[in-house]
DNA sequence: GAAGATTGAGGCTTCAATCTTC
DNA sequence: GAAGATTGAAGCCTCAATCTTC
């Protein structure tokens, strides 16, 4: 099972694990956040991103979320419909609009962050303490390999 | 960074890594397989599953793929439309239908498996050899924690 | 009633075409 | 022409209702 060169078997093992993980995590249904909140994952991500640093243009948001601009356009429309977001004209660029969280949006983002943190804390607790660091490191390695 | 009890920071770290991984892997667009093949991921998974052990009922396939039975129904319809799948009545159960790969379907499954194996082999190669086993083990640990 | 399967409605995403502004 | 943004069309998925068979 352990070898110096990547064998067909190892690749198969990696594939099986990744596929299982993706399915088990419910990643094929993008309409519900894995945290159980009744809002789309992309909206939750958008809120988190806008909490980190605002204001943001739609194009910038799309790049961070890896979503098409058309998706972002509709996504932003929904967030505004919820009263969580505000669209302001960019003083420096007539084409762009700047996105800003409303107070209600900030609160929603905070609650979502808490729920998500709790979920991940539970997940972390289910991992043996002496393996946590290794799992975190392995995910970093995997991300690095993806680039 | 390393602690015995799961801290808020560790949970945050796990969350960030998982979110980054999901986005980088293109998991928010279920219509294209990550392997670059022009068919939906669910169809590729279905083919792989039916290669493992056939015949399978739609309900069974749905459970393995973690897809709704309605999704499976349409998915099977498409696979049949491609000439890759055949639907047979279950001799033991009048409600059920048995799914069997056609020769063309088997060939498509093989090609898909090769392409996917190659993709994962490349991914594995991008991981330092002395860390591969650790990454595999970490994914197992993560899966275990998800249950 | 329970389980396998199908159909209709609605949501999220991409792609392509379009408009406006740089 | 390039970039920000919007709109229409199509694909994949879930949920709910329905039909058939156990």
Quote the tokens at residue A96: 């762009």
Q: What SS3 state is found at B45?
A: helix
> What's the residue count for chain A?
147
Q: Do A138 and B140 touch (CB under 8 A)?
A: no
**Of all residues in chain A, what percent carry a pLDDT higher than 70?**
86
pLDDT at B3: 46
Q: Using the CB atom, is residue A93 less than 7 Å from strand D? A: yes
The crossing angle, in degrees rounded to 10, of helices B132-146 and A132-146 is 120
Cβ-based burial of B89 (10 A; exposed 0-12, middle 13-18, buried ≥19)? exposed
pLDDT band, residue B35 (cuts 50/70/90):
low
Strand partners of residue A88:
A98
Taking residue B128's Cβ as centre, other Cβ atoms within 10 Å add up to 12
Q: Using the CB atom, is residue A91 less than 7 Å from strand D? A: no
Closest partner CB to B136 (pick from A13, A117, A144): A13
Closest-CA distance of chain B to residue A94, Å:
30
pLDDT, tens digit, 9 for 90 and up, residues A104-134: 999 999 988 888 888 888 888 888 999 888 8
Residue A73 near residue A61 (C-beta atoms within 8 A): no
């Amino acid at each position: 099972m352990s070898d110096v060169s990547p064998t067909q078997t190892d690749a198969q093992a990696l594939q099986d694990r990744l596929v299982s993980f993706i399915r088990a995590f419910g990643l094929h249904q993008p309409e519900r956040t894995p945290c159980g909140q009744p809002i789309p994952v992309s909206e939750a991500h958008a809120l988190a991103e806008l909490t980190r640093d605002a204001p943001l243009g739609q194009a910038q948001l799309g790049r961070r979320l890896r979503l098409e601009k058309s998706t972002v356009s509709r996504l932003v429309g929904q967030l505004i419909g919820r009263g969580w977001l505000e669209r302001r004209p960019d003083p420096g660029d007539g084409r762009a609009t700047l996105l800003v969280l409303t107070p209600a949006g900030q609160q929603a983002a905070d609650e979502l962050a808490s729920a998500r943190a709790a979920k991940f804390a539970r997940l972390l607790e289910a991992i043996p303490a002496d393996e946590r660091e290794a799992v975190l490191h392995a995910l970093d390695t995997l991300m690095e390999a993806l680039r």
